Amino acid sequence: MKSYAESQAIRDFLFENPIHLDVALAVQETWPSIRDTVCNEFLDQLCTRIREVESIQKCETSVQIGSVYKGAAAHSSRIWLYGDNWKPYVTSAKANLPPWGNRTAFVLEPDGKDLGYWFFNVQTPLSLDTMVATDRSRQEHLQQELSDGLGKSEGTTHNLRWPWWIYATPDMRHWNSLVPRLYRECKSSEGEITRYFVETFVSLALKAIPVIDQIEHTRSCST
């Protein structure tokens, strides 16, 4: 429900018509499966659309783009992009690395449960306080350069693995409540939400790539 009034209207209806309580319970128990099916398909659609964008295909830096859907927990479902030549970070065999391994990546993922608070970010494979000294200095440099190149980050990232990040616009950042619209866009392969995430991901990634290239000693991306 988008408002207290809408939620209260549903409550009032069910209490006035208790014959529908069993149906409400069945819907509630089935919802996570429905949501996961739709959001998995939508995330895959976004990843495909991003790969097809001409400016990404023509980027001088050879990039890899991937996605994974693992349910509604924070940071479990993602789309990522990284450069083949970006310098790996020093990691141990026991390190819990992200799907893209030990490089920096540009990522879209949820920061909260139930697929809420989706945010765009530049992410390193380790948090700042677990890096070796040379990598820590490199990440701090990256944080400053990203702030100059992409604008101010949403908030503090001290000792975290996100040197830069911003939330998606408020009406697009909570997918649980957007499932009906996401389903319709999956069937049409087009729509306002699809355009927003594809265009924003590509626009920010094309700004982030040359900044990361500069730090990682590789070629810049021409937009």
Task: Give residue-wise pLDDT tens across range 108-130.
Answer: 999 998 999 999 999 999 888 88
Are the C-beta atoms of residues 101 and 136 closer than 8 Å to each other?
no
**Short-list 131, 165, 133, 159, CA closest to 146:** 165
Q: What angle do CA 90, 206, 216 make, to 5 degrees?
A: 25
Backbone angles phi, psi at 20, to 5 degrees: -90, 0
Task: Report pLDDT for 102.
Answer: 92
pLDDT surpassing 90 at residue 172: yes
Q: Mean pLDDT over all residues of the chain?
A: 89
Tell me how far the alpha carbon of residue 182 is from its chain's centroid: 16
What's the pLDDT score for residue 77?
A: 97
Tens of pLDDT, residues 19-32: 888 887 787 778 89
**Using 50, 70 and 90 to split pLDDT, how confident is the model at 180?**
very high
- Separation CA 165–CA 153 (nearest Å): 5
Nearest to 176 by CA among 81, 45, 77: 77
What are the residues whose beta carbons fall under 8 Å from the beta carbon of 61, sequence distance 6 or more? Answer: 83, 84, 85, 209, 213, 218, 219, 220, 221
Q: What is the pLDDT of residue 154?
A: 85
pLDDT value, residue 18: 84
Res. 219: pLDDT tops 50: no
At residue 13, the pLDDT reads 83
pLDDT at 159 over 70: no
pTM tops 0.85: yes
Neighbours of 204 (CB within 10 A): 19
Residue type, 154: E
